[in-house]
Amino acid sequence: MKLAAKTAMFSALLILIALLNLIFHNQSARLEQQSTLLLSSAETLERDIKTLEAKAASYGANAPRDYQSYFRDVALYYKEFEAAVSSLQQDDLHLGERLADIDGGSLILQLSTKGLAQSHQQWQLALASFTRSYNEAIGDNKEEPRLEWATQKIREQGPGLTTLAQVLVEKAEQYNQERQVKQQQFALSLALAVIVASLIFSFWFFMAVVKPVKRLAETTNKVAEGNFGLQLEAKGKDEVSEVTTAFNSLSIRIDLILKLLDQLEEGASEQQTVDAVLDICGDYFNVDWVGIISLQEAELRLQAASPASSMKRWFAKTATIEDGNLAEFIARHIIAKRLWAEKDIDSFAVKIKDSRLMRELMRNTHAHSILGVPLGEPGQRRGMLLLASKQQGLLEGKRGELLMKLTPLISQRTLVNELERAV
């Protein structure tokens, strides 16, 4: 995975955590407001019940003693009783709405409102029973309400309602306390998630980028000091791995070029030339056999081969150039200074007119692919450097590119040697 993709993943993770944190804070603020309103509604409910009980007690203590003041006081207390009962019903409605809102906002913190809901249900049943009893006691005649009976019902059922209201207040307070604990825990979890994600990203960045780049810089300095050919392990498929692979290729190329320059010095023999090419380039390019063929008027001659022992197995070291045979094919490439590259010698042998040179080449090299590098200039001694491999495709991939870049160097150095011997 590329560094950009990994960085994007970590960035997306941090953004996700940030979004969760934002959602959490918004929900927390809303839930805190709702729970506060719920507690306030429960406290108002308890306060209104006590107010109703106080009015009932006041009416009992200050019952009208004469007929003239009776209707005046009854009307006054009746209005206050009605307002208190209506306030209770309104408080219950508000409490139900708060409870519904808080139930929907409790999911993110996994808070349970089951206890609150059960207490509220008990309260509603008790309130409905009280309201029904109160209305029956008052009667249908609003001009002459039976306040004594209503007062008795309030005294009978008021303490029970007060107790249920107190339970509701306790449940609301417990919910608030649990909400505060859950909010703190959730906030701490988000903070830890951010810290862990940052540590993981920092560790990954150090291991995937900083450490490999530091190691690459140290190895580059060693190469700059002359330790050519050093290689680094390229792990993964990211940009650092690509840079490491490019460095390895550069290091081996410099090493091969310098070694070839050192081995293909002026005055080296043809056998030394092919030995140097096989020894230095053999393993890297999977070259199994190297030879030099010279062009001499109407024939080709095998001058040298490496391994040198393979020369003893060649019965036909000279091939006459005839129309359509392999010698004529190679001669045309030498004269035109064109590379000869074959991936499959067996298939090539079927297409061209056979010759003893072709049979000798196939039998003694046991090669599947071959590369011929033209040597020399017009008016001078010319020939071809042959590189044979038991594998197919000498010019495939990065190694093939490097081999193509080394062939002019091989050709130039070998050409100098050929010209010196011609003189």
* 174-226 pLDDT, tens digit each: 878 887 887 788 778 878 887 887 888 788 778 777 888 888 888 888 877 77
- What domains can you pick out in the chain, each with its CATH number? 3-201 (1.20.1420), 269-422 (3.30.450.40)
Which alpha helices (H) appear in 206-238, and where do they start and end?
A: 211-224
Give the per-residue pLDDT at 332: 92
For residues 96-124, b (16+ Cβ closer than 10 Å) or e, as one string? eebbebbbebbebbebebeebeebbeebe
Residues of the chain falling short of pLDDT 70: 1-3, 6, 24, 27-28, 60, 62-72, 103-110, 263-268, 354-355, 378-379, 393, 395, 397-399, 409, 411-423
Give the per-residue pLDDT at 259: 74
* 76-105 pLDDT, tens digit each: 788 888 888 888 888 888 888 887 777 665
d(CA 322, CA 328): 6
Cross-strand pairs, 370: 342, 388
| Cα distances (angstroms) measured from residue 171 to each of 25, 174, 350 | 24, 5, 97
Give the per-residue pLDDT at 418: 45
- The count of other CB atoms within 10 Å of the CB of residue 151 is 23
Give the per-residue pLDDT at 202: 81
Give the per-residue pLDDT at 316: 77
Question: Within its chain, how far is the Cα of 14 from the centroid?
Answer: 12
246-250, long-range: CB < 8 A, 24+ apart? 247/216, 247/219, 247/220, 249/398, 249/402
Tell me: cis bond preceding 307? Omega within 30 of 0 counts. Answer: yes
d(CA 351, CA 383): 23
